[in-house]
Amino acid sequence: MRLSRLLPAVLLAASLPLIAATPNAGTLNPPASGTTSASVNWSGGPYTGATADPSVCSSVTCDSYTLTVNVPSTFYSANPNYSIQVGITWASNTNDFDLYVNDGSGNTVCSSGQSMTTFELADCGQLPAGTYTVQIVAFATVNATYNGNASLGPEPASPQGKARYKSGKFSFTNPILLPGPTDAVAGTQDIEPRVRADAVGNIYAAGIQGVPAGTDTWKSMDGGKTWSYLGEPDGAQAASALARGAGLGGGDEDLAVGDSGLVYVNSLWIGSATQSTSPNGGATWLVNPFSSDVPIIDRQWLASQGNSVLYLTYKQLGALLGGTETMFVAKSFDGGVTWPQIVPVTMPQTGVQPGDQGNAEVDPNNGNFYTVFFGQDGHTLYIARSTDGGSTFIVKQVYAAAAGTSLVNVFPSLAIDRAGNLYIVFSDSHNVFLTSSKDQGASWSVPVRVSNGTATKSAIGPWITAGDSGRVDITWWGTTDLSNNDAAAQWHVFFAQSQNALASIPTFAQSTATGIMHQGAICTNGTGCASGTRNLAEYFAPGLYLDGSEMIVYSDDFNNSSPLAVFIRQNGGSLAYGK
């Protein structure tokens, strides 16, 4: 049975033959008069086995503690900032435990599952009175013990970096393989796929074949149920032909749609980037293979504004020495035909030296332009903002991880909700994190962990989309393996949603969106990766449909002989727009 089809804790969890903790039960009562909190403690282990599946716990892999909550609802009414916290700690991060709290029916009410730490802490909120089973799962331990604690007390006045987690009730359509003819010369693959919807509900997708094989594009006019192949806009640098073949493109690509329906595809080739613009829904394309005016560029992104304004960001690689990269933002006023405004954001002589650069976005509320990137050290995160149409930029550090921690797994991803709030997601290869800004990027929240649970111990390639104020969807590649370079790792696409991402303690609901779509390592070192470990390239980029449902296009080489583009769309669960 596939792990993604298992609940974090099954209904029979309470009856499984688990080791009993010491002591094996405790009761949380309201704090005594004159005190602020109450707590119970226990310990467990050592464990001689481990499991990645909490539904098959045994006496050597799991532990249980019976927690009785004896708190009347009137207490919470009088103390609205009180909550129940359940946590465990252990000695070394070479061991790994997970924590689930299940109600009397076996439903998981709160949980904590992460990697490379010495603790798990589940913020359970205001649990109603009742009996709960705390399940401790030895995910990867060697004769390890732990200490447990459950407490009832006030939340910190400014809880930083805390979140709550629950199982998501999301569903997705059956996967659809995006069509197209076979390229008999170069073979067929579609990696780094991107998907967007226009204002009337047409959906467009793009994926790269690799230089010089060109960039594939597709269109759906029925909400993603059926797709037509639009050909390669950069193939032969002319009108789109319904064939796959050579052209100045096929490296990194990005896809955007204008308010008036213009469709934009920009694809990289070593000398420059090919800009393809369609005024008629992909029937024909205007093509400019020299949309940048500098050579040796890398990782370009598009951002559309209004009917025909288009921004293009890219990084010029250092011509002489490492550490001499420059980030540029070009602006077109005619849908990408010409680019009269080109401005450097960072330069070798001044500013922050950029590492990998993430996507770009324009806030339709005020016209602010943003792009996000890592510092060259790999553990700092920055945002560049322009409030004057891309003429000048301010660069601000968003977050700095500990030296030696790599955040380059792979690109940072930026989104703007309808109220103008900003969000960035990134990964340290084990966990996905989210940070947000309510003041146009001037200040940022302490990052909170998004990914949770046994099924996603390695989590890379996160991407974020934003809907109404505080509503975000986040996707990533995830596996049970502790390293993304494990040759036996089996990967799924994961989906998490927060309806209150701006809250001091946001809640994330998480589901597994796909079956296994890749097996083996997913290397994040770019061209430094070993052969066969970079089959999916660097990312996959979802989008939102008109109703706020998530559209996901991803590469699948587990169910196909090569990594081909597959589309799914959310058809159940809460949406990013509306009620």
Set out the domains of the chain in order of their start, with CATH numbers: 3-155 (2.60.120.380)
pLDDT band at 183 (very low <50, low <70, confident <90, very high): low
Of 138-152, 236-250, 551-565, the range with the lowest mean pLDDT is 236-250
Of 210-214, 285-289, 343-347, the range with the lowest mean pLDDT is 210-214
pLDDT at 40: 97
pLDDT at 10: 33
Q: What is the mean pLDDT of the chain?
A: 90
pLDDT at 52: 87
The model's pLDDT over 296-338, given as tens digits with 9 standing for 90+, comes to: 788 899 999 999 999 999 988 765 555 678 899 999 999 999 9
Q: What is the CA radius of gyration of the chain?
A: 25
Residues 6+ apart with CB under 8 A from 495: 168, 170, 172, 473, 474, 475, 510, 511, 512, 513, 550, 552, 570
Mean pLDDT of 39-68: 91
Give CA torsion, residues 9, 14, 19, 24, to 10 deg: 120
pLDDT at 234: 86
In the three-class reduction of DSSP (H, G, I as helix; E, B as strand; rest coil), residue 226 is classed as coil
pLDDT band at 579 (very low <50, low <70, confident <90, very high): low
Decide if 573 contacts 497 (C-beta within 8 A).
yes
pLDDT at 559: 97
Measured between alpha carbons, how far apart are the two ends of the chain, in Å? 36
The model's pLDDT over 489-531, given as tens digits with 9 standing for 90+, comes to: 999 999 999 999 999 999 999 999 999 999 999 998 877 888 8
Token pair listed for 555: 């590469």
pLDDT band at 1 (very low <50, low <70, confident <90, very high): very low
pLDDT at 422: 98
Please tell me the pTM assigned to this model: 0.92
In the three-class reduction of DSSP (H, G, I as helix; E, B as strand; rest coil), residue 76 is classed as helix
Residue from 295, 284, 346, 335 nearest 312 by CA: 335
In the three-class reduction of DSSP (H, G, I as helix; E, B as strand; rest coil), residue 74 is classed as helix
Flag whether pLDDT at 11 surpasses 60: no
